[in-house]
């Protein structure tokens, strides 16, 4: 017979599909968006702040590194100066020794002449 048992189980569902209320979907979507949007916006601003902080941190690090490099070159310069001082002292000593030798030899010459 043509009773309700003859209808396929999907038939009723298919008939219900066009009845989906677009307004309800829109309201649900808006509800979901308004529920999640503040959190997303907070996350976005937190991320932006984090990114800005990272940029500042990187710039500061670069400045510190360049300062460190400058310090290193200053240390090198100091080493050069102390080396120069050392060699200057050596030269002064050699000069003094040569002058002493010169005096001795001229004294020797004088004494040789006097013999």
pLDDT tens, 49-104? 999 999 999 999 999 999 888 888 888 888 889 999 999 999 999 999 999 999 88
Q: What's the pLDDT at 12?
A: 56
Q: Which residue has the tokens 């020794």?
A: 97
Query: Is a pLDDT exceeding 90 seen at residue 5?
Result: no
81 by Cβ neighbours in 10 Å (0-12 / 13-18 / 19+) ranks as exposed
Q: How far, in Å, CA of 1 to CA of 45, rounded?
A: 67
Q: What's the pLDDT at 76?
A: 85
N-term to C-term CA, the chain = 163
pLDDT tens, 11-52? 555 555 667 788 888 888 888 888 888 888 999 999 999 999
Average pLDDT, the chain: 83
């Amino acid at each position: 017979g043509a009773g309700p048992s003859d209808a396929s189980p999907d038939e009723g569902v298919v008939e219900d599909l066009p009845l989906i209320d677009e307004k309800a979907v829109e309201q649900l979507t808006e509800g979901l968006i308004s529920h999640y949007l503040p959190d997303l916006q907070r996350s976005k601003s937190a991320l932006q702040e984090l990114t800005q902080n990272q940029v500042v941190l990187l710039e500061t690090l670069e400045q510190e590194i360049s300062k460190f490099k400058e310090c290193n070159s200053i240390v090198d310069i100091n080493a050069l100066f102390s080396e120069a001082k050392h060699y200057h002292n050596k030269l002064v000593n050699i000069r003094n020794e040569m002058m002493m030798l010169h005096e001795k030899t001229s004294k020797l010459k004088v004494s040789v002449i006097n013999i």
